Amino acid sequence: MVDRHRAVVVVWALLVVALPEVVQARIKLITLPVRERVEVQLDHPSATLVEEERIVPLVAGENQVDFSWANTRIDPGTIVFRVLGPDGDGGGRPIEVNVLSVSYPPNENALVWQVWSSAAGAARVRISYVLGGLTKQFHYRAVASNDEKTLDLSQYMRIQNLANESFGTTGLWAGYGERFLKPIGINETKQVLVEKHREVPITKTYTCNSAVLGYLDRAANKLRVPMHYVLQNKPSHGLGQSPLPAGKARIFQDDGAGTVAFIGEDWGGFTPVDDELRLYLGVAQDIVVRRTIERNERHRVAGNLYHHEVIVKYEIENFKDTAVTLDVEESLHHLRNEVRGNTGRDVQWELGDHTTFIGGGDRERTTHDQIVLHAQLPPRQAAGKAVKTVHRLHVMIQNEW
C-alpha cells in the first residue's frame, strides 16, 4: 500500500556545465519507501503518538530526505527523525550514517533532512509525530450474575480515524495491557476487546441523601433511593492491574434462564487502583424512605451564641423479598441551612445520644461535613406488607448565632 504522505530520498548530484560554476540538482527516487513498522500509542487522553520505521536507500556522501504530509493532521512541531542504524551496503561492509541538518521548504507541509552516509547502502530510520484526528474511547459491557454477587466486566477500546491517513497492520497500545495488531483505514472505526474480567465481586447499594439525590415526592417527604453496583478496582477482586479509564457502561443481568436482560446504562468515571467504580442502576421503587425534622430546638450558650439540637426522623419500608442495607447520607451543612439558614460558616457538630442507627456513623465514609449511617431493613412479610423501620439521627449543631 502506498502511503498518503511520502518519505522520499533525494540524491544531490554535481552537474558540471559549460559555465565555471557547479550547480546542485535534486533527483527524487520513483519508488517511495514503504513503512516497515507502525506503532500507535493511545495512552495520552488528547494526543496520539505515531512511530513509523522505513528502510531508506542512501548514496555515499550527502543525501536529502523529504517528508511531507499534505492533508494529513500531523503536528509539524512534534516530528522527530532518527537514524536507527544502517542495513549495510550489500557487500558486508558497515556504513556510518549521520543527520546533518533539517529545514522547512517554503509553502509546503514538509520537512527536509540532510543525511550523510559513509557509503552507498540502506538505513533504517524512525519518524515519530503527534497525529490529530486519531481518537479513542473506552466503553464497558457489565453482566451481573442472577444473584447480583459478581459481575463479568468486558472493556472495549473504540478507535476512530479521521486523520486523513491510512495505516496497514499497526501496533496499537492503550497505555496498559496487551498490544494489538490491527489495520486502520481512512474514516474507519475499529473496536478492540482490551480486557475481560470474570466474576468480579460487586455490592448492590441503596442510598438516600436529601442534599444530593433529592426527593422523589417532596410533599410526602419521600426521598429518592438510587441503586448502584459497586466494584473495587483491586487485585484481590480480579482487577487492579491498572486504572479503569472513563467510559460508558451498558449493564445487564443474567436472568437465570440462559439469557441476559438489559437493566441500565451509566457513564463510569476514571477509577484508580484501589478505588471503587459505581454503576448507576436507577431509582428503587420497592424501598420507601420518608424524612422529617422531628426536633429543632435552640439552646443558649452565652450572649448571642447558641447550640441547635436537631433530630431527623427516617421512616423506612422495604417491599423486597430479601433483606437489604440502606445507606443514609446526611450533609451537616445542608441540614444546618435547612433548620437555621445559611450563615456561610463551616458547621461544628456532634452526634447526639438519641441516634438509633446501629454503630453510629460510618468511620471510613463520614467526613467533617457529611455523616453516613446504615439501616438494616428486613424483607417484607409473607402477605406482601413491608415492616416499617424507624431511625433517628440526633445532632447538636454548635456555636451558631
Task: Examine the domain organization and report whether 359 and 390 are in the same domain.
Answer: yes
Pairing of strands 134-144, 247-254: parallel
Strands lying side by side in the sheet with 247-254? 189-201, 150-161, 134-144, 247-254, 260-268
With contact defined as beta carbons under 8 Å apart, do 199 and 72 qualify?
no
Answer yes or no: is 256 within a domain: no
Task: Examine the domain organization and report whether 328 and 359 are in the same domain.
Answer: yes
Q: How many domains does the chain have?
A: 3
Among 170, 200, 230, the domain-final residue is: 200
Residues whose CB is less than 8 angstroms from the CB of residue 190 and which lie 6 or more positions away in sequence, other chains included: 158, 159, 161, 182, 184
pTM of the model: 0.78
Based on C-alpha coordinates, what's the Rg of the chain? 33
Answer yes or no: is 35 within a domain: yes
Cell of 211: 442534599
For position 201, what pLDDT does the model report? 97
Query: In sequence order, which ranges of 252-377 are alpha helices (DSSP H)?
Result: 332-339
For position 20, what pLDDT does the model report? 32
For position 28, what pLDDT does the model report? 35
Q: Which of 160, 154, 162, 165 lies closest to 191, judged by CA?
A: 160
CA–centroid distance for 61 within its chain: 50
The CA distance from 51 to 163, in Å, is: 15
Question: Quick count: other Cβ atoms within 10 Å of Cβ 262?
Answer: 9
SS3 25: strand
With contact defined as beta carbons under 8 Å apart, do 91 and 118 qualify?
no
Answer yes or no: is 232 within a domain: no
C-alpha distances in angstroms, 307 versus 198, 299, 330, 397?
A: 53, 5, 19, 6
Task: Examine the domain organization and report whether 151 and 63 are in the same domain.
Answer: no
For position 19, what pLDDT does the model report? 28
Answer yes or no: is 365 within a domain: yes
Residue 300: give the domain boundaries.
287-400
Q: What are phi and psi of 12, to 5 degrees?
A: -85, 125
* DSSP conformational letter for 386: P
Pairing of strands 203-209, 324-331: parallel
pLDDT (tens place) for every residue of the chain, 401 residues total:
445 555 544 443 332 233 233 233 333 332 457 889 999 998 887 889 999 999 988 888 998 888 888 888 999 999 999 998 876 544 456 788 899 999 888 888 888 899 999 988 888 999 999 999 998 999 999 999 999 999 999 999 999 999 988 888 899 988 777 788 888 899 999 898 989 999 999 999 999 999 999 999 999 999 999 999 999 999 999 998 889 999 999 999 999 899 999 999 999 999 999 999 999 999 999 999 999 999 999 999 998 899 999 999 999 999 999 999 999 999 999 999 999 888 888 999 999 999 999 999 999 999 999 999 999 999 998 877 899 999 999 999 999 98
Determine the straight-line distance between the first and last CA of the chain, rounded to whole angstroms.
78
With contact defined as beta carbons under 8 Å apart, do 319 and 288 qualify?
yes
For position 240, what pLDDT does the model report? 82
Among 101, 131, 161, the domain-final residue is: 131
Task: Examine the domain organization and report whether 49 and 75 are in the same domain.
Answer: yes
With contact defined as beta carbons under 8 Å apart, do 74 and 117 qualify?
no
Which amino acid, residue 298? R
Task: Examine the domain organization and report whether 383 and 370 are in the same domain.
Answer: yes
The CA distance from 378 to 388, in Å, is: 9
Q: Which of 370, 354, 372 lies closest to 362, judged by CA?
A: 372
Task: Examine the domain organization and report whether 291 and 362 are in the same domain.
Answer: yes
* DSSP conformational letter for 286: S
Name the percent of the chain in helix, strand, coil, to the closest 5: 5, 60, 35
Answer yes or no: is 219 within a domain: no
CATH number, residue 41: 2.60.40
Among 131, 155, 179, the domain-final residue is: 131
Task: Examine the domain organization and report whether 123 and 166 are in the same domain.
Answer: no
Task: Examine the domain organization and report whether 96 and 193 are in the same domain.
Answer: no
Would you mind telling me the total number of residues written for the chain in this entry?
401
